[in-house]
Amino acid sequence: MVNLIWLLMLISGICVAAVTGRIEAVTTSALKAAELGVEVAIELIGVMSLWLGLMKLAEEAGLIRVIARIFSPFIRLLFPSIKAESPALGAIILNLSANILGLGNAATPFGLKAMQELQKENPQPEVASPAMITFLALNTSCITLIPATVIGVRLKANSLNPTEIIGTTIFATGCAMTVAIIVDFLIRSRRKA
């Protein structure tokens, strides 16, 4: 549906430009936007490389296992059906850690790995398990303490204070994650009843 909306907006913009005799503005804007997209992507490589490198170091040093043990009671509440030795837990921890640091792109591979591991433990492979649903809810609403990617984009856009969004980001994502956890818990409780 969203793709259809974007397509309709694109077509209507081109038609208006053609009718008003400003079709060259469409071409110029498209080329500038493509150039800007490449520039932003290349400049974000540095930020992403830094954080992905730190995450890899933490994983290799065993810090992720320590974090998993620390958060184990909380994770056990959220994912009661996952076994304590499940490889999905490590992938979930890595995914949530990357999301907490505002590295959505870095979180994606860990999220895919977590879903693969959760699918292996799923008794009904054609239907998402409760653990998969909980993970998806957490993944999409995870609290972000350091919105590194957004700060990188704001730096690229020459923002006067690129970190001013940290407080509101923590508040907004904290609210979103709280609501996701509560709704997930209520739905799971209702299904058991």
Token pair in block for residue 65:
């296992």
Q: Is there a domain that residue 42 lies in?
A: no
The pLDDT, as a whole number, for residue 47 is 67
Pick from 38, 30, 92, 101: which is nearest to 65 by CA? 92
- Tell me the pLDDT of the chain (193 aa) as tens digits: 788 898 898 889 888 888 888 888 888 888 888 888 888 778 777 766 776 777 778 778 887 667 767 777 888 788 888 887 788 888 888 888 878 877 777 788 888 889 999 999 898 989 999 999 999 999 989 888 888 778 878 887 888 999 999 999 999 999 999 999 999 999 888 877 6
Pinpoint the alpha helices (H) of 61-165.
63-70, 72-78, 87-100, 104-120, 130-141, 148-156
The pLDDT, as a whole number, for residue 171 is 95
The pLDDT, as a whole number, for residue 134 is 93
Residue 76 is part of which domain span?
50-192
Q: Is there a domain that residue 91 lies in?
A: yes
Q: Is there a domain that residue 23 lies in?
A: no
The pLDDT, as a whole number, for residue 26 is 83
The pLDDT, as a whole number, for residue 64 is 67
Q: Is there a domain that residue 41 lies in?
A: no
Burial class (CB in 10 A: 0-12, 13-18, 19+), 147: buried
Q: CA 40 to CA 114: how far, in whole Å? A: 29
The pLDDT, as a whole number, for residue 132 is 93
Q: Is there a domain that residue 165 lies in?
A: yes
Query: How many domains in the chain?
Result: 1
Q: Is there a domain that residue 139 lies in?
A: yes
Q: Is there a domain that residue 95 lies in?
A: yes
The pLDDT, as a whole number, for residue 119 is 93
Q: Is there a domain that residue 7 lies in?
A: no
